[in-house]
Amino acid sequence: MIIKNFIKAARLRTLPLSISGIILGGFLAMSDGLFNGVIFSLAILTTIGFQVISNFANDYGDGVKGTDAIRIGEERMVSSGKISPKQMKKAILISVILTIIFALFLIYESFGLSNFGYSLLFFVLGIVSIVAAIKYTVGDLAYGYSGFGDVFVFLFFGLLSVLGSYFLFTKEIYFLLTLPAISIGLLSTAVLNLNNMRDYQNDKKSNKNTIVVKIGLKAAKRYHYSLLLLSFISAVSYVVLTFTKTVQFIFLLAYIPLVIHALFVYNNKEELRLDAELKKVALSTFLFSVLLGLGQVL
């Protein structure tokens, strides 16, 4: 039973979103003829490790602060008493150790022993990613309680994920790649914003000052539409600027469910109903990364 509870705490439904940037980075490297299956596999494992650390830490942090005492959506394990805070801290530590091991193998596979500077840079980025994942809700200065969660998601799920994974394959980055990285980052931020809109009432009572709590639900909806629209503009700009074949626009299919989602959010009056939309946006982001990537290699 305890293993089942930890699997629930890992929140497997968040994993497709977390690896979307890695998948896109891999496709972009493949379009340049520089894809490496071992690097890709290790990058996926490392990213999943970061996400599991984040989910465990989020469960622990919100649980000990009492934020999850009354919540909408998936049951949290610490707040429900199914996993003790001590057990969750051990799970976080084990996850950190495993993730560092994956990251070291990834760095070695990508850079070997001849690029110490790059190896050190990515090791530091890995440590920063782990610290950021934990400090989102853990501790007195948890930035998720101060409205900075959106910045973290945009930077780590978007820019670092896409550009960093591409660099692991190619050892270079060019400016236009920031456009698809921005798209992934904005869509990932939209998932967090949707989550925070769902939890608005509970977060407000718990003094968890997300951007939604700070600006209110009406403004949060406008913010949500802006994230979706800007992600679209960024992706279209990238394809137009790199256009060689019509199939590159296949990614537009991923925006069909996102448009339907935006209309739902516009008409919705009940925060509880937003929970089902989380999976839709997350899977649409995953689909977007696959389709945009395929458009570059087909």
Mean pLDDT of 187-214: 92
**Residue 233 scores a pLDDT above 70:** yes
- Three-state SS at 59: helix
The tens digit of pLDDT for each residue in 108-148 reads 999 998 899 999 999 999 999 999 989 888 877 788 888 88
Mean pLDDT of 260-272: 94
- Token readout for 227 is 């994230």
Q: What is the pTM of this model?
A: 0.93
CA 77/CA 68 separation, integer angstroms:
10
Percentage of the chain exceeding pLDDT 70: 97
Through-space distance between the first and last CA atoms of the chain, rounded to whole angstroms: 45
What is the per-residue DSSP string for 103-133? Answer: HHHHHHHHHTTT-HHHHHHHHHHHHHHHHHH
Nearest to 184 by CA among 212, 155, 204: 155
Taking every pair of Cα atoms in the chain, the longest distance, rounded to a whole number of angstroms, is 57
